């Protein structure tokens, strides 16, 4: 039954769904598409997706399944490990049309996942929900199926986290554009974030000492781990390590600048020679 299935979604998938929704035809309220990824022991890892054109009428649904197969083939050429794991739709709820589409996908893969992204922003949030289809009914009577919600988590590859963090800056800026940042600026920002985290930890400790908050054992143990993990060095050891590292880095900088100057000279000299 796989009710303990967890769905792990990569940010790319969400970006793609939002983009497909923004580009939908004027008469469509909903957009659907296929989810691609891998399944491993009850955990479904959704890494990619694409949009499939479809039309919904009162009592029937038309989706271009050839298109879906074609695009899936094209994608397989690039990435042979991604398989169809389910389908997605925008909107708030699971409609009756969904079960029809879900049946189709059940033919394509084993136990498909249905993911909804609420782009209509009901309840002022964009809800991300996933469902699995579960047959219900009494034995001997009519049986039907029900969409049961399962847990959704966001997971990222390392570089994806960096990408998302950069894109997140557009949320707060007023001109809605952001440039990839220079190194030093990012280091400065990371240190600022660390400082604010340290401040909140300090505030918590102060509160506990003054008796304003209940001490929590787990937090206390984590704090002890953290304090113990700072390497203990005598001042001389630190001086040594610091100086030798600085010397190494300065030497490398000098060498690379020297190389650059030599390149320039080399270029000018070869061009100057007239024969």
Partner 1 sequence: MASGRGSTRRLPENDSSIAYVQMDGLAVMKMVKHSHEESTGNMEVAQGALLGLVVENCLEITNCFPFPKPNDESMDEEEYQLAMMRRLRRVNVDHFHVGWYQSADVGNFLSLPLLESQYHYQTSIEESVVVIYDTQKTARGFLTVKAYRLTPQAIQMYKDNEFTPEALRNLKIGYESLFLEVPIVIKNSHLTNIMLSELADMIPEEDGSKFLDLGTASVLEGQLRCLMDRVDELNQEAIKFNRYQQQVIRQQQDKHRFLQKRSQENAARQAKDEPPLPEEDLNKLFRPIPVPQRLNPMIVSGQINTYSQHISQFCSQSLAKLYITQALQTAKEGKAAP
Q: Which of 156, 205, 208, 219 binds partner 1 (CB under 8 A)?
A: 156
41 touches partner 1 by CB under 8 A? no
Distances 206 to 42, 108, 222, 275 between C-alpha atoms, Å: 44, 58, 16, 80
User: Which tokens belong to 195?
Assistant: 């400082």
What values do phi and psi take at 23, rounded to 5?
Answer: -100, 15
Give the nearer residue to partner 1 in terms of CB position, either 6 or 16: 16
60 touches partner 1 by CB under 8 A? no
- Note whether 111 and 3 are within 8 A (CB): no
115 touches partner 1 by CB under 8 A? no
CA distance 49 to 39: 15
Q: Which of 160, 201, 213, 219 binds partner 1 (CB under 8 A)?
A: 160
Of 112, 111, 101, 88, which is closest to residue 15 (Cα–Cα)?
A: 88
CA distance 104 to 86: 10
Q: Which of 2, 65, 146, 162 binds partner 1 (CB under 8 A)?
A: 162
43 touches partner 1 by CB under 8 A? no
CA distance 74 to 4: 32
16 touches partner 1 by CB under 8 A? yes
Cβ 163 to partner 1 shortest distance, Å: 5
Q: Which of 24, 38, 61, 95 binds partner 1 (CB under 8 A)?
A: 24
Q: Which of 166, 201, 205, 223 binds partner 1 (CB under 8 A)?
A: 166
Residues 116-145 that bind partner 1 (CB under 8 A): 117, 119, 121, 125-126, 128
218 touches partner 1 by CB under 8 A? no
Distances 168 to 58, 121, 171, 245 between C-alpha atoms, Å: 39, 19, 5, 34
Cβ 58 to partner 1 shortest distance, Å: 24
203 touches partner 1 by CB under 8 A? no
């Amino acid at each position: 039954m796989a009710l303990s299935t967890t769905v792990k979604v990569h940010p790319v998938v969400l970006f793609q769904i939002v983009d497909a929704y923004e580009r939908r035809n004027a008469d469509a309220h909903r957009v659907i598409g296929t989810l691609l990824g891998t399944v491993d022991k009850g955990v479904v890892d959704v890494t990619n997706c694409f949009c499939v054109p479809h039309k919904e009428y009162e009592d029937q649904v038309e989706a271009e399944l050839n298109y879906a197969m074609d695009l899936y083939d094209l994608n397989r050429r690039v990435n042979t490990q991604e398989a169809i794991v389910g389908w997605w739709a925008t909107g708030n709820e699971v409609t009756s049309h969904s079960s029809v589409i879900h049946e189709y996908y059940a033919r394509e893969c084993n136990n498909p996942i249905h993911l909804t992204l609420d782009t209509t922003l009901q309840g002022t949030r964009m809800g991300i929900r996933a469902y699995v289809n579960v047959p219900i009914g009494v034995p001997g009577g009519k049986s039907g199926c029900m969409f049961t919600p399962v847990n959704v988590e966001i997971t990222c590859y390392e570089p994806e986290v960096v990408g998302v963090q950069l894109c997140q800056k557009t949320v707060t800026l007023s001109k809605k554009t952001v440039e990839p940042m220079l190194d030093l600026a990012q280091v400065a920002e990371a240190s600022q974030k660390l400082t604010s985290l340290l401040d909140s930890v300090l505030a918590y400790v102060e509160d506990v000492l003054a008796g304003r908050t209940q001490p929590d054992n787990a937090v206390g143990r984590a704090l002890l781990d953290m304090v113990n993990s700072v390497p203990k060095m005598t001042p001389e050891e630190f001086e040594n390590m610091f100086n030798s590292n600085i010397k190494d880095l300065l030497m490398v900088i000098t060498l690379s600048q020297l190389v650059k100057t030599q390149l320039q000279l080399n270029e000018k000299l070869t061009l100057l020679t007239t024969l």
